[in-house]
Amino acid sequence: MDAAALRASWADAWRSIGVANANPALLDELLARYDEPQRAYHTRQHLAECLQHVDRERAHAEHPGEVALALWFHDAIYDLDRHDNEARSADWARQALRDAGAAPEIAERVHALVMATCHDAAPHGKDAQLLVDIDLAILGAPPARFDEYERQIRVEYAHIPPEVFEPRRREILGRFLARDPLYQTPSMRNLLEASARRNLLQAVR
């Protein structure tokens, strides 16, 4: 997705929730966040990949605009020294929607969707399941992209010594591998489950 496609996706998501005039300053601030220097994976590349998935899968969402907006905000705050990035991103999303005039229940649902990307519990509801599947779609990417993803994650955590990082990383990926199924949305499962399991098995060896 180039800059024009990202802006079109942004405007479409807001229109889908009944807000006609998306805030261009907010969009610029979000894009600047995804360009921060500490990021190697959690960048515009990841955001664009997520938005492409939601465009393809929107028929499987109850509220596709809300899923798209949650994806825009899900990594908005990415501070490697903190453990509350999802909560801070979710709070920002909720406030941004309220400020834009979105219905309160929409703001709350988007907040909950962003929080689902903590990946600490199985997601409930079609939209949360789809959003989490999209966030984890990288696990089922073609091998070259998956390898690039692994390198990008290592760059983000370059300050962690290998003897600490590598077992932690295998543990995290092993938890995803242990999920059965890994993807909750049938279409995402058909598309990515087998390739994700191949990638993960290779990564945790």
Q: Mean of the pLDDT values across residues 68-90?
A: 96
Shared domain for 47 and 63, answered yes or no, is: yes
Burial class (CB in 10 A: 0-12, 13-18, 19+), 153: middle
Range from 28-42, 111-125, 160-174 carrying the lowest mean pLDDT: 111-125
Alpha-carbon distances, residue 43 vs 30, 35, 53, 63, 139 (angstroms):
11, 6, 16, 25, 16
User: What does the pLDDT read at residue 185?
Assistant: 97
C-alpha 198: how far from its chain's center? Answer: 21
**What's the rounded Cα separation, in Å, for the pair 166 and 170?**
6
Shared domain for 190 and 203, answered yes or no, is: yes
Query: Burial code of 32-47, b = ≥16 C-beta within 10 A, e = fewer?
Result: ebbeeeebbbbbbbbb
User: What does the pLDDT read at residue 120?
Assistant: 83
Shared domain for 131 and 170, answered yes or no, is: no
pLDDT at residue 52 is higher than 80: yes
Q: How many CA atoms lie within 13 A of 200 on its CB side?
A: 21
Shared domain for 88 and 125, answered yes or no, is: yes
Shared domain for 116 and 49, answered yes or no, is: yes
Shared domain for 168 and 200, answered yes or no, is: yes
Shared domain for 41 and 25, answered yes or no, is: yes
Q: Ramachandran region of residue 179, left (φ > 0), alpha (ψ -120 to 50) or beta?
A: beta
User: What does the pLDDT read at residue 89?
Assistant: 98
pLDDT tens-digit readout, 118-164: 988 889 999 999 999 999 999 999 999 999 999 999 999 999 999 99
Q: What range defines the domain where residue 53 resides?
A: 1-135
Within 10 Å of residue 7's Cβ, how many Cβ atoms?
A: 16
pTM value? 0.96
Q: Mean of the pLDDT values across residues 54-68?
A: 96
Looking at every residue in the chain, the average pLDDT score rounds to 96
Largest Cα–Cα distance in the chain? Answer: 51
Of 135, 153, 183, the last residue of a domain is 135
User: What does the pLDDT read at residue 22?
Assistant: 75
Q: What is the domain count for the chain?
A: 2
More confident residue, 39 or 205: 39
